[in-house]
Chains A and B, each alone.
Chain A
Amino acid sequence: MKKTLITMTSITYAMKAKKLLNGLGIFCEIEKTPKNAGSGCGYSLRVKDPPERITAQLDRLNIPYRSVIQI
Chain B
Amino acid sequence: MINFDNSATSFPKPESVARAVSAAVSRYGGNPGRGGHRLSEEAAQKVFDVRQLAADFFHAQVENVAFTQNCTFALNMAIKGIAQYGGHVIISDYEHNAVARPVYALWKMRGVDFSVAQVTNDDDLTLENFEKLVRHDTRALVCTVASNVTGRVLPYRRLAQMCKRRGICFIGDAAQAAGVLDITLDDGFDFICTAGHKSLYGPTGTGLLVTNGNYALSTIIEGGTGATSAQLEQTGFLPERLESGTINTVGIIGLGEGLRFVRKKTPQAILRHEKKLCDQFEQLLSRDKRVKIYEQNVPRLPVTAFNIADVHSEEVAQKLSQKGFALRGGLQCAALAHRTLATTEQGVVRFSPSVFNTPLQVSALAKAIGSI
- Give me the interface of A with B, judged by CB distance under 8 Å: 9-13, 15-16, 19, 30-32, 40-42, 64
Q: Other CB < 8 Å A-B pairs besides A15-B48, A16-B62, A40-B230, 13 of them? A: A10-B63, A10-B227, A10-B237, A10-B240, A12-B62, A12-B63, A12-B239, A15-B44, A15-B45, A30-B41, A31-B36, A41-B227, A64-B237
Cα of A21 to Cα of B239 in the assembled complex, Å:
20
CB-CB under 8 A from A12, the residues of chain B are 33, 48, 51, 62-63, 239-240
Q: How large is the interface on B (under 10, 10 to 19, 20 to 34, 35 or more residues)?
A: 20 to 34
B121 at the interface (CB under 8 A from A): no
Secondary structure type dominating chain A contacts: mixed
Name, among B63, B225, B237, B240, the residue most crowded by chain A CB atoms within 10 Å (CB to CB): B63
Secondary structure type dominating chain B contacts: loop
Whether A9 contacts B237 in the complex (CB less than 8 A), given A16-B62, A41-B226, comes out as: yes
CB-CB under 8 A from A32, the residues of chain B are 35-36
Q: Cβ of A42 and Cβ of B227 under 8 Å apart?
A: yes
Q: Which residues of chain B from 205 to 264 have any CB-CB distance to chain A below 8 Å in the complex? A: 225-230, 235, 237, 239-240
Cα of A17 to Cα of B32 in the assembled complex, Å:
17
- Give me the interface of B with A, judged by CB distance under 8 Å: 32-36, 41, 44-45, 48, 51-52, 62-63, 225-230, 235, 237, 239-240
Whether A11 contacts B33 in the complex (CB less than 8 A), given A16-B63, A64-B237, comes out as: yes
Q: Residue of A at shortest CB range from B227?
A: A10
CB-CB under 8 A from B36, the residues of chain A are 31-32
Q: Cβ of A10 and Cβ of B226 under 8 Å apart?
A: yes
Tell me the smallest distance from the CB of B65 to a CB of chain A, in Å: 9
10 shortest A-B CB distances, which residue pairs?
Answer: A32-B36, A11-B33, A15-B48, A10-B227, A41-B229, A40-B230, A40-B229, A11-B44, A10-B240, A12-B63
Q: Residue of A at shortest CB range from B236?
A: A9
Tell me the smallest distance from the CB of A32 to a CB of chain B, in Å: 3
Q: Cβ of A40 and Cβ of B44 under 8 Å apart?
A: no
Tell me the smallest distance from the CB of A5 to a CB of chain B, in Å: 13
Cα of A16 to Cα of B228 in the assembled complex, Å:
18
Tell me the smallest distance from the CB of B208 to a CB of chain A, in Å: 14
Tell me the smallest distance from the CB of A64 to a CB of chain B, in Å: 7
Cα of A54 to Cα of B41 in the assembled complex, Å:
22
Q: Cβ of B48 and Cβ of A40 under 8 Å apart?
A: no
